[in-house]
Amino acid sequence: MLCCLGLFFGFAVGALLGGPWTFIGPISGFILGFVGDVKLLRGSHKHHGGYGGGCCGGWSMQHKDTEDSAKDPVCAMQVNKRTGQYKADFNGETYYFCSSACESAFKKNPETYAGCT
């Protein structure tokens, strides 16, 4: 979406400045917007802007749990059970989380995420 906004802004700047900026503006705007889109998609996990798409983190790669790891039911990230500091118990099962944001989301509505491990 930012690439479209960048392209639109680039056309406006190009029309305003004229000359070679007629071509440079839209291209630069699109590239900057595209980089912004990629940054938002990659950087959203640490801050959890959207929690990864609902139950089981629909967009994340699925990995098998090992003895020392568990899948965060909110974002589907692998979490080390030994070193993880965020966890919650629900219906007799312990759930592990990568961050306090995922832990909070789970605690607000555990039924949504409880079957996602």
If asked whether residues 100 and 64 sit together in one domain, one would say yes
If asked whether residues 59 and 41 sit together in one domain, one would say no
If asked whether residues 30 and 59 sit together in one domain, one would say no
If asked whether residues 36 and 63 sit together in one domain, one would say no
If asked whether residues 17 and 67 sit together in one domain, one would say no
| pTM assigned to the model | 0.48
- If one counts the domains in the chain, the total is 2
If asked whether residues 60 and 99 sit together in one domain, one would say yes
Q: Which two tokens stand for residue 69?
A: 């790891």
Tens of each residue's pLDDT in the chain, 117 residues? 777 887 788 888 888 888 888 888 888 888 888 887 777 766 555 445 444 444 444 444 444 556 788 899 988 889 999 888 999 999 999 999 999 899 999 999 888 887 765
Segments forming the whole domain that contains residue 18: 2-47
Helix ranges, 1-71 (H) = 2-17, 21-47
